Chain A
Amino acid sequence: MASAHEVQVPLATRRSATGIPTGRLAVWWVLASEIVIFGGLLASYIMLRLHHPHWHEEAAHTNVWAGGFNTFVLLTSSLFAVLGHQAAEEEDGPRAARFLRLTVGGGLVFLIVKAFEWTNEIQHGFTIYRDLFWTYYYTATGLHGLHVLVGMIVLWIVARDAACGKHLHRVELIGIYWHFVDAVWIFLFPLFYIAR
């Protein structure tokens, strides 16, 4: 007869052929697939950028200050996420939850700035149809923004549990995802804003 512990914890979260907890392993596999998605997108962008010298004129219309501010916001939110992980390892759920909510706040600021930026660009005629550069710009930053939004939702759910001291290991898992989103932006910023 199975013990109470075995009944509560599914087999999938207990077994480990790699020595890595299943949840963390799953997050890394998700990120591995994300590398191919964003990597493929950015590799094809770089290829076409080398092929079309006139793209630097288009890139000159992106807002470096908005992009730079968003880089600062995401780096700061990553700091909050990792401090949340540290608090979770110290079994301090409420503190971890506070840091996770600050991380969500960072994501929210990022999306608001991005929304203003897109609105301004579209109003000035820089739509997704204007040039292939802008198609890449909206696709890459839009896909990244979608990842920010998904991360914010999961962060909020994990923070709600962490505040009650539940599932504290998940704080690290969502943190790893959030840092990846930050790392992707670290490459998007120079590719679309600085290189002109």
Chain B
Amino acid sequence: MSTEERSAPREHTPHPNYLAVYGVLLSLFAISVAGPLWGMWWLTLITAFGVAVVKATMVAAYFMHLNVERRYIWYVLLIMLGFMLVLFAGVAPDVLARSGQNWQHLRAVQDAHGAARH
């Protein structure tokens, strides 16, 4: 390892107990699979997607060492996540609309009626 590759202060931080982190990740994974078996949409939302966010955060923090990484990297990643939200917020109002002035999304309307019948 060359001198410059060692120069960042983060290289001197101790490693966490990776096996413990892995154990927590596996437990969360089991919860994310078991949650939807109850058949409640809100529980699925929490156990599948909420747990996914927690799992991804743990992977980023402990395995990718973002918890000890310089803030510059955080800013870069958060800006990119912000771009994603801008895309979603900018396009969603149009995409999620089923009808507008002089137009109707026939398939989406049919789907909505079909879902209502069920």
Interface residues of chain A, those whose CB is within 8 Å of chain B, are 9, 13-14, 16, 18-25, 28-29, 31-33, 35-36, 39-40, 43-44, 46-48, 50-54, 64, 68, 71-72, 75-76, 78-79, 81-83, 86, 88-89, 91, 168-169, 175-176, 179-180, 182-183, 186-187, 189-190, 194-196
With A36-B84, A179-B64 as contacts: A169 and B1 at CB distance below 8 Å: yes
B40 sits at the interface (CB 8 A)? no
With A13-B4, A72-B26 as contacts: A190 and B115 at CB distance below 8 Å: no
Known interface pairs A20-B73, A32-B80; A75-B22 also in contact (CB < 8 Å): yes
- Asked if residues B95 and A48 are in contact (CB atoms below 8 Å), the reply is yes
* A21/B8 in contact, CB under 8 A: yes
Complex-state Cα separation, A28 to B25, whole angstroms? 23
- List 25 A–B pairs whose Cβ atoms lie within 8 Å, in order of A's numbering: A20-B73, A39-B80, A39-B81, A40-B87, A43-B84, A43-B87, A50-B96, A51-B108, A53-B112, A53-B115, A54-B111, A75-B26, A79-B22, A79-B63, A83-B18, A86-B15, A91-B1, A176-B65, A179-B60, A182-B59, A182-B63, A186-B56, A190-B48, A190-B49, A194-B32
Closest 9 CB pairs of A and B: A39-B84, A190-B48, A53-B115, A169-B5, A35-B80, A179-B63, A194-B48, A183-B56, A43-B88
Least CB distance, A20 to chain B, in whole angstroms: 6
Q: Does B106 belong to the interface (CB within 8 Å)?
A: no
When A and B form their complex, what is the total count of cross-chain residue pairs whose Cβ atoms lie within 8 Å? Answer: 151
Taking a contact as CB atoms under 8 Å apart, the answer to whether B84 and A78 are in contact is no
A43 neighbours in B (Cβ, 8 Å): 84, 87-88
Is the beta-carbon distance between B63 and A189 smaller than 8 angstroms?
Answer: no
- Which A residues are in CB contact (< 8 Å) with B32? 189-190, 194
Interface size range of chain B in the complex: 35 or more
The one of B52, B96, B108 in contact with A189, judged by C-beta atoms closer than 8 angstroms, is B52
| A-chain residues with CB within 8 Å of residue B48 when the two chains form the complex | 190, 194-195
Q: How far is the CB of A13 from chain B (nearest CB, A)?
A: 7
